[in-house]
Structure 1
C-alpha cells in the first residue's frame, strides 16, 4: 500500500500533545474585533484542545500518522 499524505494545511494548524490530544488556535481573532466582547477575545488567546469529535476527524483524515 502507498503511504498516506498529511494535509499540508493541517500540519501548519494543529499539533499533538504528549497524551495524543490535538492542540489548535482558536478562531475569530483576525478582524471585526471591536464588535466582539472582551471576554471572547481574552478566551481566544493562546491555544485550545480540540473536542473529541474534532480530534477524531483531524487524526483520521488530515494527519493520518499522528497517533
Structure 2
C-alpha cells in the first residue's frame, strides 16, 4: 500500500485540541472590513471547532493529526 500523503494546505489550516477536536479559523475576516461592524469582526478573530459533518473530509486530507 502506498504512503499516506498529507494535504499541506489543509494541514496549515487545521489543528487539534487536547480533547481531539479539530480547530479552525473563521472565514470572511480578510478584506472588505469597512461594511462589517466591530462586533462581527471581533467574533471573526476567534477560532472555532469543526462540526461533525465536515470532519470526515478533513480526516481524509490530514491523516497525521488524528
Q: For the residues of structure 2 that align with 1:40 and 1:50, how far apart are their CA atoms?
A: 19
Q: Is the 8 A contact 2:15 2:65 kept in 1?
A: no
Q: Where do 1:22-37 residues align within 5 Å?
A: 22-37=22-37
TM-score computed with the length of structure 2 as normaliser: 0.85
* Long gaps (5+) in structure 2: none
Q: For the residues of structure 1 that align with 2:61 and 2:40, how far apart are their CA atoms?
A: 28
> Per-residue deviation at 1:25?
0.9
Note the aligned Cα RMSD (angstroms): 1.3
Q: For the residues of structure 1 that align with 2:27 and 2:64, how far apart are their CA atoms?
A: 25
TM-score computed with the length of structure 1 as normaliser: 0.84
Q: Is the 8 A contact 1:24 1:48 kept in 2?
A: yes
Q: For the residues of structure 2 that align with 1:62 and 1:48, how far apart are their CA atoms?
A: 19
Name 2:18's counterpart in structure 1.
18
Name 2:7's counterpart in structure 1.
7
- Choose between structure 1 and 2: higher helix proportion: 2
